[in-house]
Amino acid sequence: MKKITIILSLLLTTIIVTAQGKEDKFKDKFDDVFEEEDNNNLTLRFFNALDGEPIHDATITIGELDEYLTDAEGKARFPVPEEDGVLLVHFECAKFISSDFKIEVLAGTLFFNRFSVSPVLDLKDIRIILDWEASPKDLDAHFIKQNGYHISYRHTQILSDGSGKLDRDDMDGYGPETITIRDVDDLATYEYMIHDYSNKSDGGSSALSKSKATVKVYGQGRLLYLFQVPQQSRGTKWSVFKITEGQFVEINQIY
């Protein structure tokens, strides 16, 4: 009964979104539900953080299970585990940074199944990637250098010297929204934050907290940090972390 309810809900969402001309991402999720129901499996999706395109032919190792290859749509399907819990996922693909993620299986379903991964970058660079669910449609990433610059969709999207830029802006849900910085000053202070633009007029909104948003920070040739949005919070701004004199400081608060 639970899965039938989910399917009917997704069907209604698909019809509505199709009318708006933004059906692709919702259709993907709708298709996954049918596939998982028919074959008793789960789906993971992997995307290029720079352009949002699916990553194909990646090797995915899930816990103690076998290895799987992603298909042309960036999907890796695996059998539903016999027990709920947290599984470790290892991602490996040419021209991308190898990464480890954790996935949570609840009642035979995945809490979150979309991962945007960074292509290989210089060891001195950092790349910050935001993923989330379908709602809110528009979450905006901001990277701010104190007494310096502000990178976001509406500010300096590309720094004049090319040392930082907003690689990708997403305004219709899921992400990725990606920022790359090529010159981090060890004497400066930076802040990275997320703004729920969709609900900017409702300071008491809980939509950001319910978005399942995750932030990944790549640097030194690896995945350095992964932050998850605080749940059961109200507010439209999520202060994720600061960099002070070269040191990452976790904040992870919604206000």
Residues 228 and 128 in one domain: yes
Residues 22 and 86 in one domain: yes
Residues 137 and 166 in one domain: yes
Residues 89 and 132 in one domain: no
Task: Find the mean pLDDT for residues 61-80.
Answer: 92
Q: What strand order describes the sheet that includes 177-181?
A: 164-168, 177-181, 126-131, 214-219, 222-228
Residues β-bridged to residue 127: 180, 218
Domain boundary among 88, 116, 144: 116
Residues 230 and 184 in one domain: yes
Q: CA-to-CA distance for 45 and 191, rounded, in angstroms?
A: 29
Domain boundary among 72, 92, 116: 116
Tokens coding 14: 């698909």
CATH of the domain at 87: 2.60.40.1120
Cβ neighbors of 1 (< 8 A, separation 6 or more) are: none
Report whether 40 contacts 80 (CB < 8 A). Answer: yes
Split into its structural domains, the chain has a count of: 2
pLDDT at 18: 38
Residues 137 and 232 in one domain: yes
Domain boundary among 116, 134, 150: 116
With a cut of 70, say whether residue 254 has pLDDT above it.
yes
Residues 13 and 28 in one domain: yes
Q: Which domain holds residue 14?
A: 2-116
Range of weakest confidence among 6-20, 44-58, 94-108, 206-220: 6-20
Residues 108 and 145 in one domain: no
The average confidence (pLDDT) of the chain is 88
Residues 147 and 165 in one domain: yes
Tokens coding 87: 């599984």
pLDDT at 183: 85
Could you tell me whether strands 114-117 and 41-48 are parallel, antiparallel, or unpaired per DSSP bridges? Answer: parallel
Residues 179 and 192 in one domain: yes
**pLDDT tens-digit series, residues 2-29:** 444 444 444 444 434 434 434 565 556 5
CATH of the domain at 138: 2.60.60.30
**Other CB atoms within 10 Å distance of the CB of residue 135:** 17
Task: Find the mean pLDDT for residues 166-194.
Answer: 95
If one compares 182 and 12, the residue with the highest pLDDT of the two is 182
